[in-house]
Amino acid sequence: MIRDVDWSLYRSFLAVMEAGSLSAAGRRLRISQPTMGRHIRTLEAALGQSLFLRTPDGLSPTDAALALMPHAEALADAAGALTRAASGGRDAMEGNIRIAASEVTAAEILPPIVRGMMDRWPGLVIELAVSNSDEDVMRRAADIAVRMAPPRQDALVAARIGGFELGLYAHPAYLRGRPPVERAEDLRGHRLIGFDRPFAYTDLFRVAGKRIARDDFALRSDSDMAQLAAIRAGCGIGVCHAPLSGGLVRLLPADFAPEVEMWLLMHPDLRSLSRFDHVFAYLADALARHIAGPGGAAS
Amino acid sequence: MIRDVDWSLYRSFLAVMEAGSLSAAGRRLRISQPTMGRHIRTLEAALGQSLFLRTPDGLSPTDAALALMPHAEALADAAGALTRAASGGRDAMEGNIRIAASEVTAAEILPPIVRGMMDRWPGLVIELAVSNSDEDVMRRAADIAVRMAPPRQDALVAARIGGFELGLYAHPAYLRGRPPVERAEDLRGHRLIGFDRPFAYTDLFRVAGKRIARDDFALRSDSDMAQLAAIRAGCGIGVCHAPLSGGLVRLLPADFAPEVEMWLLMHPDLRSLSRFDHVFAYLADALARHIAGPGGAAS
DNA sequence: TATATGCCATTCATATATGAATGATCAGAG
DNA sequence: CTCTGATCATTCATATATGAATGGCATATA
């Protein structure tokens, strides 16, 4: 049936899918547009189905192409993981490492830690990717991930870093001149900051047993970083990691104090490269110390 | 650092790793030995490290190459999945489907079911792979898997087929002329058939609360198929799926009757190709009917 | 000891894939 | 309407990768 498709063709396919045109894809892969066109034509011939409709302003994918897309991405993830694994020496602390974390983690927690890593191992090249699912590690789109929940995938190297509290916080400037928040009912009439789309966290948002729904929020954002920034800017009352709450005022600590676990994940295939183990251990240690710091220490 | 490695080189790398020599790898990929040699040399140059030691009778992998191996396999799995997904039309019931199952399942349960599928959809090409881990589906080494335990991976399409019993069985020819087995203690002195290496099933092997250990087995095999064949050949007493126990005598049904669940798994990326959905549903239905047949019906 | 069969490296003529240049087409801006 | 900036398809000279053939080298086999 289908035989011996050159893997480079898949690469060109993916590039065209992402870039939207032969020319743009060619630029990205540093090959010429005619070559790119030939690759796609060859691939279509090999697979026996047409993958793109040629239009004056690019190639638009057929349904068949869309169906193949996730597989092509998996291929790219695996190729990326291989290149990262091959970068640097066998046991040397050099080469690329891709770390995935949530926005807040990447922006607020990791930078000083990464700084320390880079100082200690100057040969390392760190890539920070923002994402929220363990899938990244399973799919090898990232080597190591920091997550705020236990892994839902078996077969991953996982370390529980520790637990910390979430809390309701507001900036003093917001609270000034507004009715005090002393009981759960006092939240009515206040500006609440929360998620836009339902998330894992959504269920956590219960104050004194009552669930805060989407409509109760005066400011909605799916970016936890934007939420944090909004709280700090005095936009209203929102949820924030206790260890990150410096300068903010905690509200209703008795009514809202859900605990969150921090986990570190790694793909088992990376254990054979010692630098991943070292970075994993370094991160686990540094994150544990971060949690144990101000407001943490719940584990 | 490392830039723009042609994915075909990874393919050659994998072929050499598996074949053990440039010539053999070349034959497998239908390219010449000099070309294969050039590919490896190019890859080594691109990755900046030597991958093989050239010996008179082949290429032996360095540690670096061994470390890259799992990644290369992931790449091959993804490429295979892509080709399989691309084989056949978009919504047509034709093309390749790879089904993973344990030995016993593949040999005893699936054949008539697969026969039915092939009759119904003549365009389908079925590949039966023997394996025991959900990993296969997660890694996309198989499209659909039949498993005897709930999935340990989230993010898989999973259907619980039903439960059935395991039991202790022996062939009448074995039992003839031997002391009868009426209580758990009677097993002493009998020939037991069991696993060689510790497995998930090992823990199940408890008779009247007492665990049967490795040393108690007179015949050990990690192949469940070999065990079944041994029981049927009258080698001794062993564990067998109730639905497969035709012609055998059940022993100590009150003391040993652990329940096992059968699950069907599929990678979510395949849902967009309708033939995988259809085959999934067909398998789920046929397996459920198999279980509900003789000796099953525990769900 | 001679012979056969693996293997890899090298060479060199050839087939193949590539890129620059060109032309055609379309959409949007002035 | 015209011009600009995208796009893709085609052409053709060139660079590149390929395979057949060869030689050298080990290890089995008789």
Q: State yes or no: pLDDT of B294 exceeds 60.
A: no
CATH architecture of the domain with range A86-156+265-290: 3-Layer(aba) Sandwich (3.40)
Token pair 């991958």 in the structure block, residue: B51
pLDDT band at B200 (very low <50, low <70, confident <90, very high): low
* DSSP code at position B153: B
Instruction: Give SS3 for B130.
Output: strand
What is the SS3 assignment for chain A? CCCCCCHHHHHHHHHHHHHCCHHHHHHHHCCCHHHHHHHHHHHHHHHCCCCEEEECCEEEECHHHHHHHHHHHHHHHHHHHHHHHHCCCCCCCCEEEEEEECHHHHHHHHHHHHHHHHHHCCCEEEEEEECCCCHHHHCCCCCEEEECCCCCECCCEEEEEEEEEEEEEECHHHHCCCCCCCCHHHHCCCCEEECCCCCCHHHHCEECCEECCHHHCCEECCCHHHHHHHHHCCCCEEEEEHHHCCCCEEECCCCCCCEEEEEEEECHHHHHCHHHHHHHHHHHHHHHHHHHCCCCCCC
Please report the pLDDT score of residue B208 as a whole number: 67
- CATH code of the domain occupying A7-80: 1.10.10.10
Please report the pLDDT score of residue B35 as a whole number: 97
Q: Give the CA B41 to C1' C3 distance in Å.
A: 33
Residue among B83, B138, B156 with most chain A CBs within 10 A, to mutate? B83
Looking at the DSSP assignment, which residues form a beta bridge with residue B264?
B146, B159
Please report the pLDDT score of residue A1 as a whole number: 64
Please report the pLDDT score of residue B244 as a whole number: 92
Residue spans of alpha helices (H) in B100-191: 103-104, 110-120, 135-138, 172-175
Please report the pLDDT score of residue A96 as a whole number: 94
Please report the pLDDT score of residue B135 as a whole number: 74
Please report the pLDDT score of residue B236 as a whole number: 93
Q: Is the CB of B33 under 7 A from strand D?
A: yes
Distance from CA of A184 to the nearest CA of B (A): 36
Tokens of B115: 């026969």
- Measure CA B208 to chain center: 31
Q: State yes or no: pLDDT of B299 exceeds 50.
A: no
How far, in Å, CA of B132 to CA of B240, rounded?
A: 17
Partners of residue B138 in chain A, C-beta under 8 Å: 138, 153, 155
Please report the pLDDT score of residue B209 as a whole number: 67
Mean pLDDT of A8-37: 96
Q: For the domain with range B7-79, which CATH number is right: 3.30.565.10, 3.30.70.1140, 2.60.260.20, 1.10.10.10?
A: 1.10.10.10
Strand boundaries in chain B, DSSP class E: 52-55, 58-61, 95-101, 124-130, 144-147, 157-170, 192-194, 206-207, 210-211, 219-220, 237-241, 249-251, 259-266
Give A251-291 pLDDT, tens digit per residue: 999 989 989 999 999 999 999 899 999 999 999 999 999 99
Please report the pLDDT score of residue B223 as a whole number: 87
Please report the pLDDT score of residue A179 as a whole number: 92
Q: Among candidates A293, A273, A283, A298, which has minimal Cα distance to A96?
A: A273
Burial of A89 (0-12, 13-18, 19+ CB in 10 A): middle
Cα–Cα distances in angstroms (integers) from residue B155 to residues A67, A135, B103, in the given order: 18, 8, 25
Q: State yes or no: pLDDT of B182 exceeds 80.
A: yes
Q: Among candidates A193, A181, A173, A182, which has minimal Cα distance to A238?
A: A193
How far, in Å, CA of B265 to CA of B281, rounded?
A: 11
Measured CA to C1', what is the nucleotide nearest B23? C7
How many percent of chain B have pLDDT more than 70? 93
Give B264-278 pLDDT, tens digit per residue: 999 999 999 999 999
Instruction: Give SS3 for B226.
Output: helix
Contacts of B168 (CB under 8 A, 6+ apart): B207, B237, B238, B239, B240, B250, B251, B252, B256
Q: State yes or no: pLDDT of B160 exceeds 90.
A: yes
Interface touch A135/B155, C-beta < 8 Å: yes
Partners of residue A2 in chain B, C-beta under 8 Å: 83, 86-87
Partners of residue A88 in chain B, C-beta under 8 Å: 1
How far, in Å, CA of A261 to CA of A147, rounded?
A: 8
* Rg of chain A, C-alpha, whole Å: 24
Give A74-121 pLDDT, tens digit per residue: 999 999 999 999 998 878 899 999 999 999 999 999 999 999 999 999
Give B73-127 pLDDT, tens digit per residue: 999 999 999 999 999 887 889 999 999 999 999 999 999 999 999 999 999 999 9
Q: Which fold has domain B150-299?
A: D-Maltodextrin-Binding Protein; domain 2 (3.40.190)
∠ CA(A164), CA(A166), CA(A171), 5° rounding? Answer: 125
Please report the pLDDT score of residue A110 as a whole number: 96
* Rg of chain B, C-alpha, whole Å: 24
Query: What nucleotides of chain D have any atom within 7 angstroms of a protein Cβ?
Result: 6-11, 17-21, 24-27
Interface touch A74/B140, C-beta < 8 Å: yes
End-to-end CA distance of chain B: 56
Give A37-53 pLDDT, tens digit per residue: 999 999 999 999 999 99
* Amino acid (one-letter) located at B52: F
- Pick A154's closest partner by Cβ from B8, B68, B152: B152
A:B CB pairs within 8 Å? 130
Residue among B69, B75, B91, B138 with most chain A CBs within 10 A, to mutate? B75
Measured CA to C1', what is the nucleotide nearest A36? C18
Q: State yes or no: pLDDT of B288 exceeds 70.
A: yes
Helix (H) or strand (E) holding B46, with range, is helix B33-47
Give A192-242 pLDDT, tens digit per residue: 998 877 655 556 667 766 777 777 788 888 888 999 999 999 999 999 999
Cα–Cα distances in angstroms (integers) from residue A273 to residues A17, A100, A192, A222, A266, in the given order: 33, 18, 46, 36, 12
* Amino acid (one-letter) located at A219: L
Query: What nucleotides of chain C have any atom within 7 angstroms of a protein Cβ?
Result: 6-11, 17-21, 25-27
Domain boundaries, chain B: 7-79, 150-299
Please report the pLDDT score of residue A200 as a whole number: 53
Q: State yes or no: pLDDT of B132 exceeds 80.
A: no
Burial A141-173 (b: 16+ CB within 10 A, else e): bbbbbbbbeebebebbbbbebbebbbbbbbbee
Distance from CA of A31 to the nearest CA of B (A): 11
Q: Give the CA A294 to C1' C1 distance in Å.
A: 84
Please report the pLDDT score of residue B22 as a whole number: 96
Instruction: Give SS3 for B149.
Output: coil
Helix and strand totals (H; E) in chain B = 10, 13
Name the CATH superfamily, with its identifier, for domain A163-260.
Answer: Periplasmic binding protein-like II (3.40.190.10)
Average pLDDT, chain B: 90
Interface touch B83/A2, C-beta < 8 Å: yes
* DSSP code at position B87: S
Give B206-233 pLDDT, tens digit per residue: 776 677 777 778 898 888 899 999 999 9
Looking at the DSSP assignment, which residues form a beta bridge with residue B165?
B259
